[in-house]
Amino acid sequence: MSLEAAIERLHAASRVAVLTGAGISAESGIPTFRDAQTGLWAQYNPEDLASPAAYATDAKLVWDWYAWRYELCANASPNAAHEKLAALERRTPEFLLVTQNVDGLHARAGSERMVELHGDIMQARCESCQTRFMLEAGFEIPPHCPICGTRARPNVVWFGEALPRRELERAQQAFQTCEVALVIGTSGVVEPAASLGRIAKNRGAFLIELNPLETPLSGFADASIRAGAVAGLGLLGL
């Protein structure tokens, strides 16, 4: 299916669902998960730090890694791809942006109808009363709950943990009912987010993928555009 068809379908659609992954923030200078880590953290595999087992073994190590990523995200700015999606939302009657990213850049670019499936790196969550609270620059490690004083963990979903149920249902509903699904910058290997594009296509939606590399979704998509997020959205007329 041609790029022209993708442009036509996207611009005519009144129900659009978008899924983003780490690739959309690459052009804001935030390394993707599959990229090698740099500096101090080069020796660690992210999958061995973002897990309940890692936290149980060495909470300080895990928090040090999150504090480093917190700084990276706090100092990054949304790029044109985040902004283009916020603009697409404003002109689309039924719209949902589902992101696997925890960097908060979509919200900072103005996205509102949005689900953060994997949480928010700017927040911590009390291990006892579950209170969520914003972390300030230079926060103490580990942070403690402002209500009950118990140690708090990063407010993100780790490998092996369930996704928040309401957010996942909202995401699935949007992908089941959209006319056009747009999947941007995700390797498409971490479930259940990886299935959202397939769900949409199986329900008759037009599926567009934007990724510089081929993914498991590429052969299944109606249009698979080999480009970075900013250039690819430009090719789609956004």
Residues with active-site annotation: 118
Torsion of CA 118, 122, 127, 132, to 10 degrees: -100
- Tell me whether residue 21 is exposed, middle or buried, using C-beta atoms within 10 angstroms of its C-beta: 0 to 12, 13 to 18, 19 or more: buried
Amino acid identity of residue 181, one-letter, is A
- Kindly state the smallest distance separating residue 25's Cβ from ligand APR, in Å: 9
Residues touching ligand APR, count (CB under 6 A): 22
- Kindly state the smallest distance separating residue 102's Cβ from ligand APR, in Å: 7
What three-state secondary structure class fits 208? Answer: strand
Residue number with the smallest Cβ distance to ligand APR? 23
**Any contact of residue 28 with ligand APR (CB under 6 A)?**
no
- Kindly state the smallest distance separating residue 26's Cβ from ligand APR, in Å: 4
**Any contact of residue 123 with ligand APR (CB under 6 A)?**
no
**Any contact of residue 226 with ligand APR (CB under 6 A)?**
no
Among residues 100, 111, 123, 155, which is the contact residue for ligand APR, using CB under 6 A? 100
CB atoms within 10 A of CB 201: 18
CA 36 to chain centre: 19
Q: Cα-atom radius of gyration of the chain, to the nearest Å?
A: 18
**Any contact of residue 54 with ligand APR (CB under 6 A)?**
no
Taking the C-alpha atoms of residue 235 and residue 180, their distance in angstroms, rounded to an integer, is: 16
- Kindly state the smallest distance separating residue 147's Cβ from ligand APR, in Å: 27
CA 110 to chain centre: 15
**Any contact of residue 187 with ligand APR (CB under 6 A)?**
yes
- Interacting residue ranges for ligand APR, rule: CB under 6 A: 21-24, 26-27, 32-34, 46, 100, 118, 185-187, 190, 211-213, 215, 228-229
